[in-house]
Structure 1
Amino acid sequence: MTHAIFRLRAERLAETDLPLVRGWRAPRCHRCRVIADYCLCQWKPSVPAHSGMCLLMAKGESLKPSNTGWLIADVVEQTHAYVWERTAVDAALLQLLEDPQWQPYIVFPGEFVEPQRVVSEVTPVAGKRPLFILLDATWTQARKMFRKSPYLERFPVLSLAPEQLSRYQLRRSRRDDHFCTAEVAALCLELAGEETAARVLDAYLDVFSAHYLCGKAKTAVDPDDAAHCFLRPFIGP
């Protein structure tokens, strides 16, 4: 079964001039992007989620095997993904933002935003579901995307203040308080009152990281560690 980022990656591969994308020399599962002997597909969870996710992705993000936006799309059925461009906006993105079933929130640190736009809670709105807009990029790219996307200026900015430090190990930020995209999505689900979906996504990230890193190191994955054990009851058909 495909999802928005799977399709976006296929489009990007069809249009890129690069013969190989960094990190893809080892044979990988085409579905989960992990080295084939460490395939993650059997661990894909299934859990209901009322919220939606909208990923604005820097060019190249969908091609990176370490990208965690992919995990969000595996867990949250209503995940949408678009390549961000400064000079053009995907018409489907604008249509999504106008859809009356959604209440969009752009997720970004409040310290960089006018105070009147910043919120710290997800407030229920009758007849609407939360749609979390995530900037899937490096921190430098994300700041540029935020500044140069005027079509997002009318939406509240959800500023997260998590107590835990990031545990994402595949691509480290210079700051421990910079979270990977899947961690941000899990925090958003928690704020929306979807604790089970949040915990499943967190566990799925840990399982993905374990398979990815064990594949690089050629060491065995422990299928009975805490993350695998938590995820097992949620494994979908």
Structure 2
Amino acid sequence: MSRYCSQCGKSRKACICQWVVPLGNEIELIILQHTSEEHRPLGTARILNLSLNCCTCLIGEDFSNDALLNEYLADDHYQHFILYPSESSLCLSELANSSVTKHKKMRLILLDGTWKKAYKMWQLSTNLHCLPTVKLPEDLQGHYTIRKAPSENSLSTVEAGYYALSLLEPNKDFSPLLNVFEKMIEFQIAQMPPGVFEKNYLKGE
């Protein structure tokens, strides 16, 4: 028997499948995952991919010539947005209340990687540059306590997906996404020797 779960890809003792709840989302997510994140045990994109019925994950760094992504982008039945904060980005709370998305279905693209890797993906993937960029409200705080983040309001990919869908589909409950995330974190903290979490993460060392 394999040491790894065939569904979530994690080791069997760290398997998250028991907490995954199938969720229906109308706003389709496309996750562009940096190659360095694909086998990272603490990656959270897999939570979105396992839970949501409309979610696609593509692996790479330069997606300019990615056939499947370009096929998606060429489908004019959809409006495509990329979650990438910039001075010109529209906040998703404003987009949710506007008429921009009323006439077409919507796809939201997430970049899965560290800030440095996400920036490189953005620079290399020239097919993304024509897409309107959106951002989440700035007062959100991430809870990825077992992974270093550049700031308090840095969010994991699953948190970004959760908040985005909650803003765009306010009548649906996407909280099971965060429950899986929290269970994963609790397990990882439980595996650490006594005092390691407090020393290295709570104190920010």
* One-letter identity of the residue aligned with 2:25: A
Name the structure 2 match of 1:61.
37
Asked if 1 retains the 8 angstrom alpha-carbon contact of 2:162 and 2:175, the reply is yes
Partner of 2:155: 179
Query: Which residue number corresponds to residue 192 of structure 2?
Result: 217
2:90 is the counterpart of 1:119:
yes
The code of the aligned residue for 1:65 comes to P
Q: Who is 1:29 aligned against?
A: 5
CA–CA distance in 1 between the matches of 2:128 and 2:64? Answer: 14
**Aligned 1:89-128 pairs, distance under 5 A:** 89-111=65-87, 115=88, 118-120=89-91, 121-122=94-95, 123=98, 125-128=101-104
Identity %: 22
Displacement of 1:152 after TM fit?
1.2
Kindly state the Cα deviation for residue 102 of structure 1 after the two structures are TM-superposed. 2.2
The RMSD of aligned alpha carbons is: 2.5
In the alignment, the residues of structure 1 paired with residue 182 and residue 38 of structure 2 have an alpha-carbon distance, to the nearest angstrom, of 20
The alpha-carbon deviation at position 207 of structure 1 amounts to: 2.0
Q: For the residues of structure 2 that align with 1:180 and 1:73, how far apart are their CA atoms?
A: 14
CA contact (8 A) 2:61 2:120 kept: no
TM-score, structure 1 as length reference: 0.70
Does residue 190 in structure 1 map to residue 166 in structure 2?
yes
Query: TM-score by structure 2 length?
Result: 0.80
- Residues 186 and 197 in structure 1, CA contact (< 8 A), matched pair in contact too: no
Of residues 42, 49, 52 in structure 1, which corresponds to 2:18? 42
Q: How does 1:162-173 map to 2 (within 5 A)?
A: 162-173=138-149
Distance of aligned partners of 1:194 and 1:77 in 2 relative to their CA distance in 1, 3 Å threshold: farther
Deviations 1:88-127 (A, max 9, x none): 521111001122332211101124xxx2xx2113345345
Letter in 1 for 2:140: Q
In the alignment, what sits opposite 1:135? 111
* Ranges in structure 2 where 5+ consecutive residues have no aligned partner: 195-205
| Corresponding pairs, count | 188
5+ residue gaps, structure 1: 1-26, 220-237
